[in-house]
Chains A and B, each alone.
Chain A
Amino acid sequence: MSDLDLSSAVRRDPRREWILRNRLHPEHAALAATGAASPAEWLGPNGVTRRDPRAVGFIGPNGIRRIDRSGAQHGAGATPGARAAAADNRQRIEIDDPAFVIAVVPDLPGGRLSSHDRDLLGLARRLADADPTAPGAVVAITFGEHRESDFGGAGVDRLLSLSGERFSGYAPEARLAALGSVEQELTPRHWLLPDSTLGGGELGRRLAARLGERPATGVWQLETAADSDSGWRCTARGAAGSSDIVRPLPRMVLALAECAEPVSDTLHAARPLEAAHSLPEGLARIEDLGEIAIDPAEVALAEAEFVLSAGNGIRDWDGYHDAARTLGAAEGASRVAVDNGFMPRNRQVGATGTWVSARVYIAVGISGAVQHLQGIERCDKVIAINLDPNCDMVKRADLAVIGDAEAILATLAERVAAWRAEQETRHVA
């Protein structure tokens, strides 16, 4: 396209205009993507502003031209670059003199904010920003090293990073002692922790017991309530998730995932905060001896969140075991594979075997007997790899790949291994 002279608005290129008008032209998309190349508005030869109605807007999904007056649109849609630019437009917020403090202790699995953490920070923001004239500050307290760089974007005004060897691993007592001194220093109006199995769920209950606060646990909804002391009312799951308890919001809150919308429009300061006093040294009665190596293939089926299950269609069992190891998936099997002695009985999936509730269940060469399908009812995503496109497993699957199961499995294992290696190097970097 070097023959185009874009600096001159008056010069017209009939061929180009023709291509731009002709959506079927092979070069249409490429030209349209350049956007500004097609001036929608120019000064006519006699000084009158001319508009080309065909040059503005974009073709909608049903083939009709749509005109977007916001000016953000181009024919091929926003590019990633444009999105990044939009993110930078987030409103920056500094709370210098907070009226109160909302303390949040995110789980930071793998050193980064989880979506649960972000939801919780969203909840904290609702509490902090309720009165725009006297906003509170959200203080996030982190233990050990973290790799998160977007605390501000998640809604954190102050960041109290407590680092040190004693917080690493499973150190609930040290963490509890540290939170105890934060309580004395900041006296937060609310303590917010994610109600996760290990992590916030545990630490929060420890803290509640230590502070003598009665927490609301399993909180998933928050409303303002004039009749409540805190001005808020929450809905919390009770009785192992079978009831909803509506109660005034207490000081201590353990909230479920999706308890609030995460922060996305604003960018907070996440100003580092130093602990004023040195943290107390406690006697550790619980000693972490480290994680023990467990072969993912040996993980109990009912507990596994990722299962690679094999059936009649597998011939190369070594290849299958290798793939399961590479993928880090628990091994499962159809009844037939078990009956034929290729897999042990405790690996049988189905109504007559183990009911699995994996996030992802890959069925390789399993046609899908009714009992088997019943056994995977509770799985989130089912992937079928099978030769027969008409089998019941393919009908049940969220994604089905028809073809030679062993070749696909081998390729998949290769790719996962390659991806793993790549992740490793990135971590090191």
Chain B
Amino acid sequence: MLETILPVLLLAALVLMAIGAVRRVQLWRQGRAAPVPILKGLMAMPRRYLVDLHHVVERDKYIAHTHVATAGSFVLAALLAIVVHLFGFDNPVLAWALVAASAVMFLGSLLVARRRINPPPRLSKGPWMRLPKSLMAFSLGFLIVSLPATGVLPANLGSIVLALVLCAVVVWGLGEMFFGMTWGGPMKHAFAGALHLAFHRRPERFSAGRGGEHRSTGLKALDLNDSNTPLGVGQPADFTWNQLLGFDACVQCGRCEAACPAFAAGQPLNPKKLIQDMVVGMAGGSDARYAGSPYPGKPVGEHSGSAHGPIVGVQEKALVDADTLWSCTTCRACVEECPMMIEHVDAIVDMRRFLTLERGSTPDKGAVVLDNLIATDNPGGYDPDSRLYWAADLELPLMSDRGRAEVLLWLGDGVFDMRNQRTLRALVKVLRAGGVDFAVLGNEERDSGDVARRLGDEATFRSLAERNIATLARYRFDHIVTCDPHSFHVLKNEYDAYGGHYAVYHHSGFIDRLIESGRLQLDSRQRGSVTYHDPCYLGRYNGEYEAPRRVLKALGVELTEMARSGYRSRCCGGGGGAPITDVPGKQRIPDMRMQDVERTGADLVAVGCPQCTAMLEGVVDAGAEVRDLAELVADALATDAAPANGSAATSDSQSSRRHTEEVTS
């Protein structure tokens, strides 16, 4: 009896799956067109899955093994089941393989089940709690129904009752694994995830086996010239179709939630919920069926939307609230952790673009900051001709006088901030001690556009970027050095789209090179216990984790690492305009980060970012001192630091030594 029912069941499941797939594709196609190399993507997909995705999954060994066992054997079992039971290939080898695959899958599903016994809060419940059982149903069902084909069991065994029970188990398994895959069950992640990997909007993220950086973190430019392109994303259908596809790939593992600083601070953001809300919006409906942690302070079930409805309501509630979108610090911790390679930050900035460019509703100080950037080219509204007031005594060489220099020192908006001026002074001292031929743009420099862009004001970003690029084009330099990771990132990765291609160094990397090449003599004596805070825009955005640590090591520092460091570093709360939009939470992100610092017992935290410095120094009664790398290096300069190269000791280096003394304070 089973032999007749099974093919019918399989066929029915496959047909339903196909119908579901078409429907799902239709949902994605509500999004805007995006140029994607379809074939190339599909070809690259297995490698992207096996190498890049697995690289992320592997950070959790337990789930990595579980997933290999379950998913690998499921794919095999499903294919074999179709061959054996649908097409009726009566080959004992195939049957044995099917049995084996089902068995391995069953073992895997036991592991999945174990994870679900006391699941960590980041995991979604609801349908996800039945997944291990469904996996067992599928694997066990096919294990048993395939045994007769191997000849171990007689073809017609047991009673009708047993057959019916077995049938029911197989239907359950097929329902979850085939039907559910395209009709929105937990297994949707496999279908959507595979295609998401193939048609990812940032193919540069994936390794091609040729080595290289394979990192893509710069925001995508918004086409402002084409008046048909919506200004950002106001409704789910404004996303590109492959972004919608990406949202559908989410497995709700909640790694993003666990990494999100805003979520931890009790601000109303949970990256996982946000992605699920986008799925809800794409398909239409309410978020009532969401079974994971809500946005802190916002109960589930109050929001709903549709593909062509607003994402953020003007007065009424829609899919998400604006403060959810403005809570993000754009630290990319969620993207870094996401095993499905979903681009949360892109989506958030896309939606912010709509709020700023179409609605004009950048919250809190945001509007003022943007107005300042438009009117004065800096977020504080300071006179742009006063950019060098802090350095009146330093006689910084100006690019407009020199025309060319080895290094263009990009000062950033920290020139207006008294705290950052100390860092800049230290950096100038270090560069002079290293005999570096540098010059600054002075009043010709403008804000890099980082904050404007992350507040969604693409128009102001573009204006700043184009004018900065035009200024830079007038001068000749080998590379740009900056102590601001935000400027660093924007100059390095986001000016590309506007024709600005530069070799950019963060000061930690540049100082590292100076030390390595022996141009800096450091007095490396023992220091107190020090920890290092990785700035998001240096670390996760640009993969620079080692240079700052090498510099600290050269200073004789014994580094005590925080629990969250490197690619898992926790944001200081200063990125993405978060201090400007200032969404209230239960605690402040910098306070949490300072607690991380204090837990190491370090009495000094080294940083490499003006934002981080400002945020961490803003912590009241902090247990550790906050100092920029440049300051630490400047303090450790050997007192008779002469340029290492004797032949270079011209009058120029003489003057640099004099300046070195002047800066010392």
Contacts and interface: CB of A to CB of B under 8 A. Distances in A.
Q: Direct A–B touching in the complex (beta carbon < 8 Å)?
A: yes
Interface of A: 312, 335-336, 339, 345, 351-352, 369-371
Contacts of B518: none
A370 B417 contact: yes
A370 B419 contact: yes
Contact of B620 (A312, A351, A352): A312
B419 A352 contact: no
A335 B380 contact: no
A79 B365 CA distance: 55
Contacts of B365: 352
Contacts of A352: 365, 579-580, 582
Interface string B348-366: 0000000000000000010
Contacts of A312: 620
A333 to B, nearest CB: 14
B588 interface: yes
Indicate the member of A312, A335, A351 with the most B CB atoms within 10 Å.
A351
Given A352-B365, A352-B579, A371-B618, A339 B380 contact: no
A351 B580 CA distance: 10
Given A352-B365, A352-B580, A370-B419, 14 more contacts: A312-B620, A335-B618, A336-B620, A339-B588, A345-B582, A345-B584, A351-B380, A352-B579, A352-B582, A369-B618, A370-B417, A370-B418, A371-B614, A371-B618
Contacts of B417: 370
A371 B590 CA distance: 16
Contacts of B588: 339
Contacts of B620: 312, 336
Contacts of B419: 370
Interface string B609-631: 00000100010100000000000
B572 to A, nearest CB: 14
Contacts of B580: 352
A243 to B, nearest CB: 17
Interface in B378-417: 380, 417
A335 B365 CA distance: 14
Interface string B418-445: 1100000000000000000000000000
A351 B416 CA distance: 12
A351 B364 CA distance: 12
Closest 8 CB pairs of A and B: A336-B620, A370-B418, A370-B419, A339-B588, A352-B579, A312-B620, A369-B618, A345-B584
B428 to A, nearest CB: 20
Nearest to B587: A339
13 contacts: A335-B618, A336-B620, A339-B588, A345-B584, A351-B380, A352-B365, A352-B579, A352-B582, A369-B618, A370-B417, A370-B418, A371-B614, A371-B618
Contacts of B418: 370
A371 B579 CA distance: 12
Contacts of A339: 588
A394 to B, nearest CB: 17
A392 to B, nearest CB: 10
B614 to A, nearest CB: 8
Interface in B537-585: 579-580, 582, 584
Nearest to B380: A351
A336 B365 CA distance: 18
Nearest to B417: A370
Nearest to A340: B620
Contacts of A371: 614, 618
A348 to B, nearest CB: 9
Interface in B36-74: none
A369 to B, nearest CB: 7
Nearest to A369: B618
A240 to B, nearest CB: 14
A209 to B, nearest CB: 33
Nearest to A352: B579
A345 to B, nearest CB: 7
Contacts of B380: 351
Interface in B453-489: none
A339 B586 CA distance: 9
A13 B380 CA distance: 74
B172 to A, nearest CB: 51
A371 B614 CA distance: 9
Contacts of A345: 582, 584
A313 to B, nearest CB: 11
Contacts of A335: 618
A119 to B, nearest CB: 31
A212 B99 CA distance: 103
Interface in B578-609: 579-580, 582, 584, 588
Nearest to B588: A339
Nearest to B364: A345
Nearest to A334: B620
A335 B417 CA distance: 18
B474 to A, nearest CB: 31
A351 B417 CA distance: 11
A419 B620 CA distance: 38
B579 to A, nearest CB: 6
A312 B579 CA distance: 20
A351 B369 CA distance: 11
Contacts of A336: 620
A339 B584 CA distance: 8
